[in-house]
Amino acid sequence: LTRDRPSEDLPAPAEAVILLVQHAGAPAAPTVKKGDAVAEGQVVGEADGFVSARIHSSVSGAVAAVERRIGPNGRRAPAVVVKTDPAAPAAPPPAAGRDWRAMDRAAVA
């Protein structure tokens, strides 16, 4: 039903729940705490064990909580809850200076 429809940008939700388990293996360890400011793209969870991965914030805003929340599998998992601020800036590109938004598909793959 959506094959021929264009993508749309939607506004950020008032609150974003970023699960620290978005991979197989150990949950990421939170790198932020309640009250911290976070920028879109900033690391909020650091790999913490075998088969773990860094987790990045998908929104900018302030950390409202670091707590367990129910994930898509119905189980509680560690999460970073961010009260979003659409006016806040995104994180700067990585030190290497390569912005993935400007890269072609072959370079990203």
Query: What is the token pair recorded at 59?
Result: 């929104």
Helix (H) or strand (E) holding 108, with range, is: helix 105-108
Radius of gyration of the chain (CA): 15
How confident is the prediction along the chain (109 residues), in pLDDT tens digits per residue?
889 999 888 888 999 999 999 888 889 999 999 999 999 889 999 998 888 889 999 999 999 999 999 988 899 999 999 999 988 877 766 655 667 677 777 766 5
Count Cβ atoms below 10 Å from residue 54 Cβ, excluding itself. Answer: 14
Residue labelled with tokens 């400011």: 37
Name residues whose C-beta falls within 8 Å of residue 20's C-beta, 6 or more positions apart in sequence.
27, 28, 29, 30, 44, 45, 55, 77, 78, 79, 80
